[in-house]
């Protein structure tokens, strides 16, 4: 639903612009400064350090963050966050803004920016209820480096990079970072090296200060070097940026090297949205354009194009192979749908069709194909050649699949057993529970 202004009758010109919950939002005490809102109206969530007053309220079952700021800043940030959401950048989602606020004596109050609370997210200080080691500090900074690269790829100049302006969620052993404050941000067609360097320099200064503050508060192992951790962000960012933006030249017989490049990008946490292949006298230039996509994107796209059911990581892997197939010179000019149908028939179905019936229950079909791609790549890398489909399929079945446990039967056996571990919370690898 698009945001639309709601004029509240008898409220002295109060204007609520919101994508949802506008009527319920009107019931909040907008005639009081946010710092004075009654506790009964608030939700107790951890807040990061902010130059503005921020409070959380529950509206129609949803938790909303309310930030008090100047009107032009609130309106600008609202539309900036909308642009970032449209670009699939990890950030909080804007809900609306409230203008025309006055207290009971008629004195003007600041505007309020409304964003939806990101579930399971925490400000960086809330992650450290006891001494944090250097490994945790490094993972936190790594997550911020990934976020900064993603922002810069879409042309977003942050202008105020810091841990305080970021929220973090746990992602297996790592963290994922989300932009929470876009007040100083600017969106450009493309950033200059100077703009990127400005963000990096600011990040280096701010993060060093934030870690020094944590150390002073006894929340960081005294052996952690704040300057060293801060410098890690620059190193990690530079590594990611160079890997993502460089182009490579391959010969027509080195398709496996394109797959190798895609693997490296996936390991760094980026997906490849497009592989553009051009030919010239010297060979083939493969240009990989990273694209950050929403969760479930790959599953939906694979299902739409091929009808194949898969989990997200499996789907991403299969789509990478499909996209490479489409860009091969032999099939240049095919539409996405035509290429997908041909890939399904001439690649996916050929591999799955070669699996003997007695081995078909070993793994799910998408997992079988995923493992086949891994096997083919490893052989190609070892032999420095493109291993043909039929040859790779036969060796995968004989050398890998035949020795796998029959997971279909194994899952059924586990499901039939009584378990004492219902509700068991496994140990956190880092020793930190949410």
User: pLDDT grade, residue 430 (50/70/90)?
Assistant: very low
Q: Decide if 433 is inside a domain.
A: no
Most confident of the ranges 35-39, 268-272, 276-280? 35-39
State residue 72's pLDDT score.
93
Q: What's the average model confidence in pLDDT over 108-126?
A: 86
Q: What's the average model confidence in pLDDT over 360-368?
A: 86
Same domain, 292 and 208: no
Structure tokens at 305: 């194009």
State residue 67's pLDDT score.
93
d(CA 314, CA 303) in angstroms, rounded, equals 12
**The 3-state secondary structure of 226-237, one letter per residue:** HHHHHHHHHHHH
Q: Decide if 155 is inside a domain.
A: yes
0.85 exceeded by pTM: no
d(CA 48, CA 21) in angstroms, rounded, equals 25
Last residue in a domain, options 244, 265, 292: 244
User: pLDDT grade, residue 173 (50/70/90)?
Assistant: low
Last residue in a domain, options 72, 99, 116: 116
Same domain, 236 and 257: no
DSSP state of 359: G
Last residue in a domain, options 220, 244, 268: 244
Angle at 150 between CA 71 and CA 213, to 5 degrees: 70
Same domain, 251 and 376: yes
| Residue 127 in this model has a pLDDT that exceeds 80 | no
State residue 252's pLDDT score.
61
The two beta strands, 174-179 and 272-280, are unpaired
pLDDT one-digit tens code per residue, 209-228:
988 888 888 777 778 888 99
Q: What's the average model confidence in pLDDT over 231-260?
A: 81
Same domain, 26 and 111: yes
| Residue 198 in this model has a pLDDT that exceeds 90 | yes
Torsion of CA 256, 306, 406, 423, to 10 degrees: 110
| Residue 330 in this model has a pLDDT that exceeds 50 | yes
Same domain, 67 and 216: no
**Largest Cα–Cα distance of the chain, in whole Å?**
82
Q: How far is CA 337 from CA 64, 294, 316, 332, 342, in A?
A: 41, 21, 17, 13, 9
Q: Decide if 432 is inside a domain.
A: no
User: pLDDT grade, residue 417 (50/70/90)?
Assistant: very low
Same domain, 254 and 385: yes
| Residue 415 in this model has a pLDDT that exceeds 60 | no
| Residue 328 in this model has a pLDDT that exceeds 80 | no
State residue 83's pLDDT score.
94
More confident residue, 388 or 314: 388
Same domain, 251 and 385: yes
Q: What backbone torsions phi and psi does residue 425 show, to the nearest 5 degrees?
A: -100, 110
Same domain, 90 and 108: yes
| Residue given tokens 């493992």 in the structure block | 371
Q: Decide if 197 is inside a domain.
A: yes
Overall number of domains in the chain: 3
Q: What is the domain-level CATH number for residue 66?
A: 3.30.200
Q: What is the domain-level CATH number for residue 158?
A: 1.10.510.10
State residue 319's pLDDT score.
92
d(CA 179, CA 270) in angstroms, rounded, equals 17
Of 32-36, 117-121, 319-323, 404-408, which gets the smallest average pLDDT? 404-408
State residue 89's pLDDT score.
87
State residue 263's pLDDT score.
77
State residue 262's pLDDT score.
76
State residue 420's pLDDT score.
34
State residue 355's pLDDT score.
95
Structure tokens at 303: 């299902």
Q: Decide if 424 is inside a domain.
A: no
User: pLDDT grade, residue 425 (50/70/90)?
Assistant: very low
State residue 94's pLDDT score.
93
Same domain, 397 and 298: yes
pLDDT one-digit tens code per residue, 80-95:
999 999 888 889 999 9
Q: Residues 6 or more apart from 79 whose CB is under 8 A from it?
A: 94
Same domain, 40 and 60: yes
Same domain, 165 and 203: yes
Q: How far is CA 267 from CA 49, 240, 259, 379, in A?
A: 32, 11, 12, 19
Q: Decide if 69 is inside a domain.
A: yes
Same domain, 178 and 237: yes
Q: Which domain holds residue 346?
A: 247-413
Q: Decide if 312 is inside a domain.
A: yes
State residue 374's pLDDT score.
92
d(CA 288, CA 265) in angstroms, rounded, equals 10
Q: What's the average model confidence in pLDDT over 331-338?
A: 74
| Residue 131 in this model has a pLDDT that exceeds 80 | no
User: pLDDT grade, residue 169 (50/70/90)?
Assistant: confident
Q: What's the average model confidence in pLDDT over 147-168?
A: 92
State residue 145's pLDDT score.
93
More confident residue, 97 or 334: 97
d(CA 427, CA 313) in angstroms, rounded, equals 24
Q: Decide if 423 is inside a domain.
A: no
């Amino acid at each position: 639903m698009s945001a639309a202004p709601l004029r509240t009758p008898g409220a002295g010109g109060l204007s609520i612009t919101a994508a949802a919950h506008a009527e319920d939002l009107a019931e909040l005490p907008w005639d009081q400064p946010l710092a004075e809102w009654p506790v009964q109206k608030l939700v107790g969530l951890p807040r990061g350090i902010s130059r503005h007053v921020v409070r959380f309220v529950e509206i129609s079952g949803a938790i909303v963050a309310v930030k008090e700021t100047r009107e032009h800043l609130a309106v600008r940030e609202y539309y900036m966050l909308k642009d970032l959401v449209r670009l699939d950048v990890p950030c909080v989602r804007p809900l609306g803004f409230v203008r025309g606020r006055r207290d009971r004596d008629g004195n003007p109050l600041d505007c309020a920016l409304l964003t939806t609370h990101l579930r399971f997210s925490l400000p960086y200080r809330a992650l450290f209820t006891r001494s944090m080691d250097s490994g945790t500090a490094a993972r936190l900074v790594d997550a911020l480096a990934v976020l900064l690269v993603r922002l810069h790829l879409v042309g977003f100049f942050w202008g105020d990079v810091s841990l305080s302006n970021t929220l973090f969620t746990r992602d297996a052993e790592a963290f994922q970072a989300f932009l929470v404050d876009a007040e100083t941000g600017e969106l450009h067609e493309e950033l200059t090296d100077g703009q990127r360097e400005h963000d990096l320099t600011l990040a280096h200064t701010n993060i060093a200060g934030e870690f020094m503050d944590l150390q002073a508060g006894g929340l960081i192992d005294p052996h952690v070097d704040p300057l060293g951790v801060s410098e890690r962000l620059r190193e990690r960012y530079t590594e990611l940026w160079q890997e993502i933006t460089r182009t490579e030249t391959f010969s027509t017989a080195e398709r496996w090297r394109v797959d190798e490049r895609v693997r490296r990008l996936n390991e760094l946490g980026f997906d490849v949205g497009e592989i553009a292949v051009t030919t010239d006298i010297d060979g083939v230039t493969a240009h990989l354009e990273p694209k950050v996509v929403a969760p479930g994107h790959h599953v939906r796209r694979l299902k739409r194009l091929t009808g194949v059911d898969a989990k997200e990581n499996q789907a991403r892997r299969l789509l990478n192979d499909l996209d490479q197939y489409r860009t091969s010179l032999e099939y240049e000019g095919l539409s996405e749908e035509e290429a997908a149908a041909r890939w399904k028939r001439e690649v996916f179905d050929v591999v799955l069709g070669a699996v003997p019936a007695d081995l078909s229950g070993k793994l799910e079909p998408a997992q079988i194909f995923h493992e086949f791609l891994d096997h083919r790549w490893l052989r190609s890398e070892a032999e420095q050649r493109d291993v043909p489909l039929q040859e790779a399929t036969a060796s995968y079945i004989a050398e890998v699949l035949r020795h796998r446990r029959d997971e279909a039967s194994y899952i059924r056996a586990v499901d039939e057993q009584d378990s004492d571990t219902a509700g068991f919370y496994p140990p956190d690898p880092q020793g930190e529970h949410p």
